[in-house]
Amino acid sequence: MMQPYTKLLSHVLNVEFPELADTFAKMAQENGHFAKLMEEYSAIDQQITDDEEDVKILEDDELARLKHQRAAIKDELYQAAKAAHDAA
């Protein structure tokens, strides 16, 4: 029996936080640490997406570790971008 198609939620920061899209872009250009975190977040998100789309299956514990790491990085990026946005 085929599984029903379910659309995966996007975890792209500009999709999740459209009000901060310009701030994310500006901070990535001006702050090397922020840019590195953005790259790390994107790479981890791609690994998770590949697993969810059956492109490259991960072990359950590795997938859980990556999801936890993605959430921690997302929180750090969001907090920094929100503070910069609010200060502008």
Using one digit for the tens of pLDDT, what is the confidence trace for 29-66?
999 999 999 999 999 999 999 998 888 999 999 999 99
* 44 and 33 Cβ atoms separated by less than 8 Å: no
What pLDDT was estimated at residue 7?
58
In the chain, the percentage of residues whose pLDDT exceeds 70 is 90
Q: Which two tokens stand for residue 40?
A: 């790390």
pLDDT score at 2: 47
Backbone angles phi, psi at 31, to 5 degrees: -130, 110
Under the phi-then-psi rule, with left for phi > 0, alpha for psi from -120 to 50, and beta for the rest, what region is 20? alpha
Kindly tell me if the per-residue pLDDT of 25 is higher than 60: yes
* pLDDT value, residue 16: 92
Tokens 């059956």 -> residue: 54
* Rounded CA separation 88/82 (Å): 10
Q: Domain limits of the chain?
A: 20-83
Count of CB atoms situated within 10 Å of the CB of 45? 19
Q: Which residue has the higher pLDDT, 87 or 8?
A: 87
